[in-house]
Structure 1
Amino acid sequence: MNDVRPSPPAPLATASAAALEALAAEAWLLEPPPPHERKGVLRDEAAFLLDRLLTTVARGHGALEVAIGRGLAALAERDGAMRLGFSGIGDYARERLGIGAGTAQKLARLSRALRDRPLLAEAVRRGEVSARKAESVLPVARGEAQERWVALARSETVRALAAAVRAEAGEAGANEEPWERVSVKLTPGGRAKLDEAMALAGKVVGATAPRWQRLEAICQEFLGAHPVEASSDGGDDGASDSVLRGPVADWLEAAKAGLEAEYGRWAFLGEVAPVEAEMSAELDGGADAMSVDAELRRLAAMRDRWDELVGHLGMLLKMLGLWRDMGFASFGHYCEERLGMATRTVEQRVALERRLHALPALRKAMRERRVSYEQARLVADVADDSSTEDWIRRAEGTTCIALRRELEAEHEAQMCARAELDLRVPRRVGNLLEAAIRAARAAADAWLTPAECLERVAEHFIATWKAAPAERSTPQRRALARDCGLCQVPGCSRAAVHAHHVVYRSRGGGDEPENLASLCAAHHLRGVHGGLVDVRGVAPDRLTWRLGCDRRARTLPH
């Protein structure tokens, strides 16, 4: 990490940003301690100062997300995203606002759910209940029970609230599935077979299916033909190799409950004043798509500033280990209980902040709005001092989804050269892979390495699906294959299902490859034929797109 302190960003012009400017001025005075300085100096004072700043920033960040969620929900319900040239709010948020598609959909879902829960919605708007707590009580906060659950959400910890909801609903809850990393060293031949199986799986489950989903299909196919008993320990008489890193220890839950009681729900840290969500008229139901878009972009620009502060202050608190001094079981425990934010959300911002200290040019590009937050995350993973400017230029000249696909292809090529499988997967997929390895050993009646097992699993999938009758070759199907089964509208993440005639057949256009562009159903039926998408030029790489109702502002080369 560089010793040079990053300069604070230029002040925002709007009066509503005054609180953010005051926090930022104080936060950017703090910097990581140099290597020669003892980290134990003034720990108590540092803990209280960082906690005060970070919790206030987290409340402001949460208030902005509530407002953004309301606008995204409005766009989703009135087909507003398509009026702006996007097939859905996920693509719109990623490309236009720099917000991840999954985050955008989650914010919109919460906003829609709160409409039927007015008491909970008001508590969230006023900042008295965090969005994370609101999501926890949604299944039970209905009708006459709503008032009781809102009161509990105001006073209980996240852990205690989740336990109460589980007890009320009589179910395990809807916690996010943990992800694990799969790592298997393959032979060159085994890697080639796995690549072939992955390509076939893409045809089966869809061109936009991530690699973990393709691996899931491959393992399911093998287990369908070679059933095996479930194993509670992932082993086979001690002979099985674990290809996954272990899950988070179960004792954390007990530790959280103990610390919660021991420290009196951390009352010594003091109360954090709620921050009210900004609900402007542009986010009301009657506003047009262009007005909602303008307001969302304003809010997203403010959110970027809050994100940077969350990353900066979170990095300091984490690297100094101050969450221990405040009586929390882990940094994630602190994020959930004290900040009201998902651990992954804060961890992402901390990881980016670390990289921005090493890559000041990327920080500058973010502040100048040359790259979005989502683009910066992608660039930060691959750039170094010598290549940062090149990567920034590449990011500026393309969409976020295209940049992600380009980086994924490069990563896949590197793994292929190293003849290995290195992949983050949901735990259920990791369990499937473990079961497939045991099934392959049982079918061979011999102990095989994980690499040998995975090769046999891939061979089975190839033998099963390669023999399937091939589809009749048509100009449309050849165009879809040429475009890798992906919608060619800039910024679209969907699979293509139609081959659109750039020059309509009614106007003399033919089935030549250069006149066919692959489109998803939404962009073809509601976009092109709804008058919101226009494409001219020569396929596949000399097309010019005019997207949405504001044609002058949305002209993008593919």
Structure 2
Amino acid sequence: MRALAAVIRTPPDGEDDDEARFRLRCPRRLRLLWQQVVDLARCMAGSELTQGQAAEAIAAEGLSARVPCGEPWPAAEPPRTAPADPHESRAVFADLDWTAIRDALPEDIEGLDADVDGLDPFALDLRMRAVLQAMRRVDWQLGRLLRVFLDRRLYRLMEFASADRYVTERLGLSARKARALVALERKTWQADAFGAAYRAGELSWVRALTLLPIVAEPTAAAWVERAGAVPVRRLADEVEWALTLRDGLAPIMPPAPGASLALDERQLCARPEWEFPDAEVTFSAPVSVVALFRSAILAFAHPHGSLVEGLEALLLHVKSEWEGQPRHRDPVFARDGWRCAVPICTARRELHDHHVVFRSRGGSNERENRISICVWHHIRGVHAGRVRAVGEAPDGITWEIGVRPGRRALLRLVGERYATG
């Protein structure tokens, strides 16, 4: 197929195509459409394409129907940096809120390392989970200290030009995590149930960060409860679903447990009177691919229209074209979203078509008996006896993870929800 042939091209000898990054702010519903078309490109190609490769196929399909308009892509505005304040000095310590410092003192965790040499693996697992609980509290405490330090720009007293330079060079912490911890610290004061769970270590910083865009005071308790009932992967999907469907910035409750998160075309294409660009389409690819994708967007944009409208028109055109063509011969991967079906896994590469009831035990080749599993969980998990799956695919599978002879599995999930019984 002419569009997908683009993804296997190789640059001419001696041509070195550097990497570039495409980024475009857009409404969340449009990013969901982008993800659907990327998955469709993978289905059409029959392999796990990167987002950059999918973008090249999308652009090639679009430009096969539209002539490039020749308009230049708008130049990005340079980032703005606040000038240094020459009046900042050690005098800022006089009115610091020392309550934040006192609250952030870590709890004593001595004793968790006692007699570790004599513990069996499962007792050691319990001990490590207690350590993780303490580490979650440390994340909150670090966020409190960072907020005070960064809000007052105290890093400038130590001759650091920016907060990012300070946290990476002085603390050995990634700037992204530092910003996330500070954002979570600020959010804890806006939603009591969310703040209490995060400060107590019941929410890891990753789960808390997943909830950050959606949590609000009226719905915080429900979202915190949901975060403890499902894996992070399902939680992220539910948050994305809620952000796509909510009315403006109004609070929204989590979906019903186990409910389908699929959106029909009317929900996906519905436009409110105003749309806030609260998401973005972004990927890395060779410079030539990014340029090709931008040309395709401009070709589909109306005169004097926005780039977002051009991207939407391009994606809708490609989606319509590809949905009218035959699919890849094995639809199981497409049904499972081109990712490992084990609820705690996010792998999208090296997928195997696994038979829930083994063929050697009389299992059929029907789709209800087949599910996508990454090579690690297939070989080292299911066939090594550490992971067990029973039921009908895709939503009726009961998973047991960490299977051990004569004892309960470490994790048991029904579909994508933790089993309590």
Shorter-chain TM range is: 0.5 to 0.7
For 1:66, the equivalent position in structure 2 comes to none
Amino acid paired to 2:328: E
1:76-155 superposed matches below 5 A: none
Amino acid paired to 2:180: Q
Moved more, 340-349 or 456-465: 456-465
Structure 1 residue 470 corresponds to structure 2 residue 310: no
Q: Structure 1: how far apart are the matches of 2:32 and 2:403?
A: 46
Query: 1:312/1:296 Cα in 2 relative to 1: closer, same or farther (>3 Å)?
Result: same
List per-residue Cα deviations over 1:386-428 (Å, max 9, x = no partner). 1111111111111111111222233345675448773152576
Structure 1 residue 502 corresponds to structure 2 residue 356: yes
Structure 1 residue 557 corresponds to structure 2 residue 411: no
Q: CA deviation at 1:545?
A: 1.8
Q: Structure 1: how far apart are the matches of 2:27 and 2:185?
A: 32
Structure 1 residue 491 corresponds to structure 2 residue 315: no
Q: CA deviation at 1:467?
A: 6.9
Structure 1 residue 345 corresponds to structure 2 residue 187: no
Q: Structure 1: how far apart are the matches of 2:215 and 2:52?
A: 25
- 1:503, 1:515 within 8 Å by CA — same for their partners in 2? yes
- 1:441, 1:448 within 8 Å by CA — same for their partners in 2? no
TM-score, length basis structure 2: 0.62
Q: Structure 1: how far apart are the matches of 2:159 and 2:372?
A: 55
Amino acid paired to 2:342: V
Q: CA deviation at 1:478?
A: 4.6
Structure 1 residue 363 corresponds to structure 2 residue 195: yes
Structure 1 residue 183 corresponds to structure 2 residue 25: yes
- 2:38, 2:55 within 8 Å by CA — same for their partners in 1? yes
Amino acid paired to 2:345: C
Amino acid paired to 1:490: P
Q: Structure 2: how far apart are the matches of 1:337 and 1:191?
A: 34
Structure 1 unaligned blocks of 5 or more: 1-176, 256-277
- 2:31, 2:281 within 8 Å by CA — same for their partners in 1? no
Query: 1:335/1:361 Cα in 2 relative to 1: closer, same or farther (>3 Å)?
Result: same
| Helix, strand or coil at the partner of 1:358 | coil
Query: 1:452/1:381 Cα in 2 relative to 1: closer, same or farther (>3 Å)?
Result: closer
For 2:88, the equivalent position in structure 1 comes to none
Structure 1 residue 308 corresponds to structure 2 residue 140: yes
Moved more, 303-312 or 329-338: 329-338
Amino acid paired to 2:170: R
1:472-551 superposed matches below 5 A: 472=329, 477-495=330-348, 497-550=351-404
Q: CA deviation at 1:543?
A: 2.6
Q: Structure 2: how far apart are the matches of 1:389 and 1:445?
A: 45
Q: Structure 2: how far apart are the matches of 1:344 and 1:492?
A: 23
Structure 1 residue 332 corresponds to structure 2 residue 164: yes
| Helix, strand or coil at the partner of 1:328 | coil
Query: 1:346/1:424 Cα in 2 relative to 1: closer, same or farther (>3 Å)?
Result: farther
1:43-54 superposed matches below 5 A: none
Q: Structure 1: how far apart are the matches of 2:50 and 2:191?
A: 29
Give the helix-richer structure, 1 or 2: 1
Tell me the percent identity: 32
| Helix, strand or coil at the partner of 2:218 | coil
Amino acid paired to 1:338: R
Q: Structure 2: how far apart are the matches of 1:373 and 1:305?
A: 9
TM-score, length basis structure 1: 0.49
Q: Structure 2: how far apart are the matches of 1:371 and 1:207?
A: 36
Query: 1:528/1:444 Cα in 2 relative to 1: closer, same or farther (>3 Å)?
Result: closer
Q: CA deviation at 1:441?
A: 4.8
Q: CA deviation at 1:541?
A: 2.9
Q: CA deviation at 1:351?
A: 0.5
